[in-house]
Amino acid sequence: MKKIFVIDTNVLLRDPYAIFSFEENEVVIPLAVIEEIDDQKSNKADIGYNARETSRLLDGLRKKGNLNEGIELEEGGILRIAIDGKDLILPAGLSANKMDNRIVSTAIHLSKENPDRKVILISNDINLRLIGNAFGISAEEHLSSRLNDDQIFAGFHEIDVKSETIDRFYQEGEITPDEIIKSDYSLSPREFVQLTAIDREKQSALGKFDGEKIVKLVHDKEKPSGISPQNREQTFAQELLLDDDVKLVTLSGRAGTGKTLLALAAGLFNVLEKKLYTRLLVARPVIPMGKDIGFLPGTKEDKLQPWMQPIFDNLDLIFQQKKSSSFSYSQLTENDLLQIEALTYIRGRSIPNQYIIIDEAQNLSKHEIKTIVTRAGKESKIIFTGDPYQIDNPYLDLHSNGLTYLAHKFRSQKIGGHIMLEQGERSELAEIASQIL
């Protein structure tokens, strides 16, 4: 017996194409959802785009027939809009003016109307799922647009081998994956490995998979802009940041793991010393932590100063390492070698031959990530950094944010690379706080 899925608004605002993910079952969109979608269509953020895309999809399907009676989808299912008006089924005390209550009412009505079919309320709102369950309606989260834990890519793989394999790796500079991986696991292009000896204490080697074989690291001894990697993951990250063949790098990790510092140091090194790019462009989304303080006075630069202060803090640390008057923020900006922008101003641009760093990328949606990546012009390299465990966007989480999604999608591409940094290096206090709080 085919099931009936009642779709909540937040599902479509996250993924308009969710209506096509229920195979041969019946998909019902309550009228209250259409009204909420209409309220969001003028939103300038990603939610507004998804609202408009949902409307476009439904309008295209409307041309095939009457949505109230049901339209057959290509997957074999049925999509229809339920007009809840006179059929509201709500207990006393629950307002019919609240959209969530109307959506639950639709699910209850469908359940009574179809006693031989299972009705499931699909919502990413925990409270709405609780209300649905309270009225005896099965409620589930929509997972098709989310990554599961197994799909969250770390960017490196630890492998136990015999000491003779490590000795041969150092001597010949390469080994094949078939020699060390005996399970179903397959290495991704640009994925790193740590070889650890099982028969000799404290012997290990770091390498990377180039698509055919595991080879030695090339940039592990370098100190770009005076900054050297402090641990294994930072060494892997630096390898990606300095590899000219890798055009997209994603760095994720907790606060204090050195994501932004490493990216800035490598960016300045590539622009000023190697002269591979004409400019270092740094951008981050303007999203406050906690209550917003409102409008700020002054020029654009004055307004951006509080939001960009974490970038300036890292630049100050790098400038202290160089100790050169020509290596300063004012000198670099005057010579147009360094530009710091709010992410808002990148939309619509074409950015060729630049080293681009997008900080706090965990707050970006999949659509916003795509918009940014497609701004990169010829010979540009783009770096995304962020902490998936500190997301301020209420519509995103660890499994659905753009940074995690981007790392997953580019896992099989030789042009991209990803590292999840684990060990904090900011301070002992920051590392302990990150782990226990």
CA–CA separation, 424 vs 435, rounded Å? 9
Contact 189, 210 (CB under 8 A): yes
User: Quick one: CATH architecture of 4-140?
Assistant: 3-Layer(aba) Sandwich (3.40)
Render 51-67 in DSSP notation, one character per residue. HHHHHHHHHHHHTTS-T
CA–CA separation, 215 vs 197, rounded Å? 17
Contact 159, 185 (CB under 8 A): no
CB atoms closer than 10 angstroms to residue 28: 22
CA–CA separation, 317 vs 238, rounded Å? 17
**376 secondary structure, DSSP code:** B
CB atoms closer than 10 angstroms to residue 15: 23
Contact 362, 401 (CB under 8 A): yes
Residues of the chain with CATH 3.40.50.300: 221-436
CA–CA separation, 372 vs 383, rounded Å? 11
Residues of the chain with CATH 3.40.50.1010: 4-140
User: Quick one: CATH architecture of 221-436?
Assistant: 3-Layer(aba) Sandwich (3.40)
Report the largest interatomic distance among the alpha carbons of the chain, rounded to a whole angstrom. Answer: 79
CA–CA separation, 437 vs 435, rounded Å? 6
Q: Collect all residues with Cβ–Cβ distance below 8 Å to 292 and sequence separation of at least 6.
A: none
Contact 254, 260 (CB under 8 A): no
Contact 125, 149 (CB under 8 A): no
Tell me the pairing of strands 4-7 and 119-122. Answer: parallel
Residues of the chain with CATH 2.30.130: 147-216
Residue-wise pLDDT for 86-122, tens only, equals 556 665 566 777 888 889 888 988 988 899 999 999 9
CB burial of residue 126 (10 Å; 0-12, 13-18, 19+): exposed
Contact 280, 337 (CB under 8 A): yes
CA–CA separation, 29 vs 36, rounded Å? 11
Taking alpha carbons only, the member of 160, 158, 383 closest to residue 262 is: 383
Q: What is the CATH number of domain 147-216?
A: 2.30.130
Tell me the pairing of strands 354-358 and 156-161. Answer: unpaired
**232 secondary structure, DSSP code:** H
In a structure prediction context, what are the per-residue pLDDT tens digits for the chain, which is 437 residues long? 789 999 999 999 888 888 998 989 999 999 999 999 999 988 877 788 889 999 999 999 988 888 888 999 887 889 999 886 555 666 556 677 788 888 988 898 898 889 999 999 999 888 899 988 888 889 998 876 667 777 788 999 998 999 999 999 999 999 998 888 766 778 899 999 999 999 988 899 999 999 899 999 999 999 999 899 999 999 999 999 999 999 999 999 988 899 999 999 999 999 999 999 999 999 887 654 444 445 555 555 655 666 678 888 888 888 887 766 567 788 888 889 998 888 877 777 889 999 999 998 998 888 888 889 998 889 999 999 999 888 877 777 788 888 999 999 999 999 999 999 988 777 778 777 777 77
